[in-house]
Amino acid sequence: MSAHDNGIWSWITTVDHKRIGVMYFVAALVFFVIAGVEALMIRIQLWRPENDFISAATYSQMFTMHGTTMIFLVAMPMAVAFFNLIIPLQIGARDVAFPRLNALSFWTFLFGGIFLNSSFLFGAAPNTSWVAYANLTSIQFSPGHNVDFWVLGLSILGISSIMGGVNFITTIIQLRAPGMKLMRMPLFTWMTFVTSFILVTALPVFAVALILLAFDRFFGANFYEPNAGGDPILWQHLFWIFGHPEVYILILPSFGVISDVIPTFSRKPLFGYPIVVYAGIMIGFLGWGVWSHHMFTTGLGPIADAFFVASTMIIAIPTAVKIFNWIATMWGGQIRFTTAMLYSIGLLAIFTLGGLSGIMHAAAPIDLQQHDTHFVVAHFHYVVAGGVMMGLFAGLYYWFPKITGRLMDERLGRINFWTYFVGFNLTFFPMHISGMFGMPRRTWTYAAELNIALPNMLSTIGAFIFALSALILVYTIIKSAISGEPAGPNPWNASTLEWSIPSPPPHYNFAEIPTVRSREPLWREDERREIEAVTLKVPDVEPVMPNSSYMPILLAFGVALTWGLVMTGKWWAPLIGLAYVGVCILMWAFEDPFAKKGA
């Protein structure tokens, strides 16, 4: 089966990073719409005081699934879509280090996401919020299957992420083109590198938190059982030891995107490249030392609190440094306000606002007032829906021409951006106010006497404008894919290696791997000519690429099956799944991806 095929089987068995990236992006977009609908349900319910659009029970499912879906099935997979699509092209490689493992990560993610959302079919969608604090999640207080779906679904997704992290770390270490020293890599590659390290170290902690909860629920263990001496706060520790590095997993890829986009549309190299790199690495390490700022209200004591206040304030510094470097990059440059650039500049503004509310939270005494109010909801939507998503959409408009060979419609893009910007701010800025007036989180209604009806009304209107923006985005993507203006290899006149090959790339990416001599290879005339001489030619003999394989999807199914069988409560049921997984692994191990197929 050749990589040029277009049938559905060629997609199901693909090991090509570009196809896997497209599948990740499409899946993330679908989940984005689903989670968006969940958000609209929330906003309609909160439109006016004491509304009864949905019940309290349904409301709990809505905010739980909205958060869980947006983080694990939208933001993370969309970033991984870009890791897949762009990293090999930026470093001059033909694919990632482990192509079949890459496909396995995708199918595992998809089955995990489907498993999680299948809970709706049973009327048992997760309902204990995306943080699922113990011991609300115990069998005693959550007897239904809601929490089971959450625990098992996210376990499946965790496996996908860890494998992806290993793959990208290995890819970036091993497959850089000759001459591409670490300090010559594009910033998006650098931030992906750091993110991948955080992925492989933080996700296992979450896996353990989930395992302990699963053992409590399915096998009567006592990890979070206060009567037996267990401590529900341990869940919070383990969750946030994962959860805080997780937010850096979310934001660093977006920081990487704009670190490539801003120089391109300022026609200037990134200001202070090494500092931006080191700031990213620092964020990766310091992110491990701040987690209990999510737990200031749990009574850790003044010494612990003081430590985490200090560490949280310190971690703002490397991010601030990056913001200054991005601004300095634009200073004195020739700015082109393409949609990608609009989203990037938008990130600078919105993320900074989110950072400011974050600094307020860092001060424990203030946080005691803000915790569990909508002020926190405002903060994290500013940094995630503002920072993370705007960065990823900048990446979309920037790299769409490379992947599809067509430019995205810039006029529609501007409409998309401005509806996004207006809708987003109208939705979330008022939450600072309603939060300050004491509006609690995760509560399905509020009394009229609280005088927070106006901010809520504004938020709901904003949410619908925001939803409109999302629809425009989907429309723009589809329209541009079908009839967008054809793009050459380098429509933006950018400097990095992915722009030296045709758009879309041939399935082998590079006819011959070029040699790189600087950080902006295509901005140096002699280097550019040298590179394009080998990257734009059509090879006499096409490079040999690994075969497609059925094993990734078969094994992914086995992983999902094994975890799903835990739900039966019988200890021997998952062993059946494990046996199937074992057989798949053996078949995988003895499969030769370079065996010649057919005559």
- Mind telling me the catalytic residues? 66, 95, 130, 160-161, 244, 246, 248, 259, 293-294, 319, 322, 441
CB burial class (10 A; 0-12, 13-18, 19+) of residue 298? middle
**Position among 229, 274, 365, 598 found at the interface with other proteins (CB under 8 A):** 229
Residue 468 near residue 418, CB atoms below 8 Å? no
Q: Which is nearer to other proteins, 15 or 463 (CB)?
A: 15
Q: Which is nearer to other proteins, 95 or 148 (CB)?
A: 95
Q: Does 156 engage in binding with other proteins (CB under 8 A)?
A: no
* 258: three-class secondary structure by DSSP: helix
Instruction: Provide the 8-state DSSP code for 448.
Output: G
Closest approach of Cβ 288 to other proteins, in Å? 6
Q: Does 176 engage in binding with other proteins (CB under 8 A)?
A: yes
Q: Which is nearer to other proteins, 216 or 527 (CB)?
A: 216
Instruction: Provide the 8-state DSSP code for 71.
Output: I
Q: Does 170 engage in binding with other proteins (CB under 8 A)?
A: yes
Q: Does 486 engage in binding with other proteins (CB under 8 A)?
A: no
Q: Does 228 engage in binding with other proteins (CB under 8 A)?
A: yes
Cα gap 182→355, rounded to integer Å: 29
Cα gap 74→65, rounded to integer Å: 12
**Position among 70, 97, 191, 340 found at the interface with other proteins (CB under 8 A):** 97
Q: Does 165 engage in binding with other proteins (CB under 8 A)?
A: yes
Q: Does 87 engage in binding with other proteins (CB under 8 A)?
A: no
CB burial class (10 A; 0-12, 13-18, 19+) of residue 30? middle
CB neighbour list of residue 220: distance below 8 Å, 6 or more residues apart: none
**Position among 157, 212, 392, 555 found at the interface with other proteins (CB under 8 A):** 212
For residues 91, 279, 236, 116, the Cα torsion angle rounded to the nearest 10 degrees is: -30
Residue 359 near residue 313, CB atoms below 8 Å? yes
Output the DSSP codes for 474-528: HHHHHHHHHHPPB--S-TT---SGGGGS-SSPPTTS-SSPPP--SSSGGGSHHHH
Q: Does 553 engage in binding with other proteins (CB under 8 A)?
A: no
For residues 453, 454, 458, 464, the Cα torsion angle rounded to the nearest 10 degrees is: 30
Closest approach of Cβ 98 to other proteins, in Å? 6
Cα gap 79→199, rounded to integer Å: 12
Q: Does 594 engage in binding with other proteins (CB under 8 A)?
A: yes
Q: Does 515 engage in binding with other proteins (CB under 8 A)?
A: no
**Position among 38, 95, 260, 532 found at the interface with other proteins (CB under 8 A):** 95
Q: Which is nearer to other proteins, 263 or 521 (CB)?
A: 521
CB burial class (10 A; 0-12, 13-18, 19+) of residue 291? buried
Closest approach of Cβ 225 to other proteins, in Å? 8
Closest approach of Cβ 162 to other proteins, in Å? 6
Q: Which is nearer to other proteins, 305 or 409 (CB)?
A: 305
Closest approach of Cβ 245 to other proteins, in Å? 9
**Position among 60, 90, 167, 476 found at the interface with other proteins (CB under 8 A):** 167
- Alpha helices (runs of H) in 363-386, residue ranges in sequence order: 364-370, 374-381
Total count of residues recorded for the chain: 599
Q: Which is nearer to other proteins, 171 or 373 (CB)?
A: 171
Stretch that binds other proteins, among 2-10, 20-28, 31-39, 165-173 (CB under 8 A): 165-173
Contact residues toward other proteins (CB under 8 A) are 15, 92-95, 97-100, 162, 165-167, 169-170, 173-178, 180, 197, 200-205, 207-209, 211-212, 215-216, 219-223, 225, 227-231, 234, 237-238, 241, 288, 292, 300-304, 512-513, 543-546, 582, 586, 589, 592-594
